[in-house]
Amino acid sequence: MAKQRSTDAPAPEGHNGALTDDERSDLIAYYGDKIRRQNRVAAEAKAAYDSERDELKSLFAKVKGDLLITRKDFEAVLLAGDMTEAEFRHAEAKRANLFKLAGLPVGEQIDMFAHAADTADEQAMAYENGRRAGLRGDDPKAPDSVSPVLVPNWEHGWSDGQKELGERLIRAAAVIEARKAPAEPEAEPEAEEEFDPDSEARKLRRAGFLERAEADAEAELEDA
């Protein structure tokens, strides 16, 4: 028996002739299953993203609470930290020049076209770029833009940056832990007890001291 063809739907592109109702039913089941599966994957990915985004917002909130630095300002610091020394100098020079054109007061201008003048400058710049990478926690591999002869300088800087990062993290962890610990209440000085002769006499009498003292005094009189 020939399959009945649908008369109310145009044939899709690339299909030889109109689809039968059975074919349409099969494709509806196929795409419905695919879409449901993908919806579940997308929902899981979105839930994971939302969770990570909330954690990111929480970290920026802690930065604002501990350091009084807004997220926008701290993101600018992170962005600058991702730059090389030359990129940072160039960006700062452009920014300073823009402020100057806008009539805003700026300090000493940075040379936009600053570059290494000799081998010592190149080594210093390679070291500084490596140190920045170490502070960022990048992999200990110099980028291809670093000349092979300068890789040791870059690696030295990366090592120092990693050491500095580790020291900073340890100190920061100590600060955070100290903030969590409750402050110990100051011990109040003990009040000095006033001397009460009657009370002291009663204590001595209970201890038998007065009776022994009277007996010793009587013995001394008899010996005399």
Per-residue pLDDT of 46-92, as tens digits, reads 999 999 999 999 999 999 998 999 999 999 999 999 999 999 999 99
Please tell me the predicted confidence (pLDDT) of residue 182. Answer: 74
Please tell me the predicted confidence (pLDDT) of residue 200. Answer: 67
The pLDDT confidence band at residue 197, using thresholds 50, 70 and 90, is low
Output 37 or 213, whichever has higher pLDDT. Answer: 37
Output 12 or 144, whichever has higher pLDDT. Answer: 144
**Angle (deg, nearest 10), helices 85-101 and 119-136:** 90
Output 148 or 212, whichever has higher pLDDT. Answer: 148
pTM of the complete model beyond 0.85: no
Q: Please choose, from the candidates 6, 40, 1, 37, the residue with its C-alpha nearest in 3D space to the C-alpha of residue 21.
A: 6
Average pLDDT, the chain: 81
Per-residue pLDDT of 87-110, as tens digits, reads 999 999 999 999 888 877 777 555
Distance separating alpha carbons of residues 68 and 64, to the nearest angstrom: 4
Query: What secondary structure does DSSP assign to the chain, as a single string?
Result: -PPPBPSSSPPPTT-SSPPBHHHHHHHHHHHHHHHHHHHHHHHHHHHHHHHHHHHHHHHHHHHHHHH---HHHHHHHHHHHTS-HHHHHHHHHHHHHHHHHTT----SPP-TT----SHHHHHHHHHHHHHHHHHHT--S---TTS-GGGHHHHHHHHHHHHHHHHHHHHHHHHHHHHHHSPPPPPPPPPPPPPP-HHHHHHHHHHTTHHHHHHHHHHHHHHH-
Per-residue pLDDT of 168-194, as tens digits, reads 889 888 888 887 877 676 666 666 666
Please tell me the predicted confidence (pLDDT) of residue 101. Answer: 84
Please tell me the predicted confidence (pLDDT) of residue 7. Answer: 47
Q: Please choose, from the candidates 74, 51, 52, the residue with its C-alpha nearest in 3D space to the C-alpha of residue 64.
A: 74
Please tell me the predicted confidence (pLDDT) of residue 173. Answer: 86
Please tell me the predicted confidence (pLDDT) of residue 162. Answer: 93
Residue 223 in this model has a pLDDT that exceeds 80: no
Domain spans in the chain, listed from the N-terminal domain onward: 20-63, 116-181
Rounded to an integer, the average pLDDT of 124-142 is 93
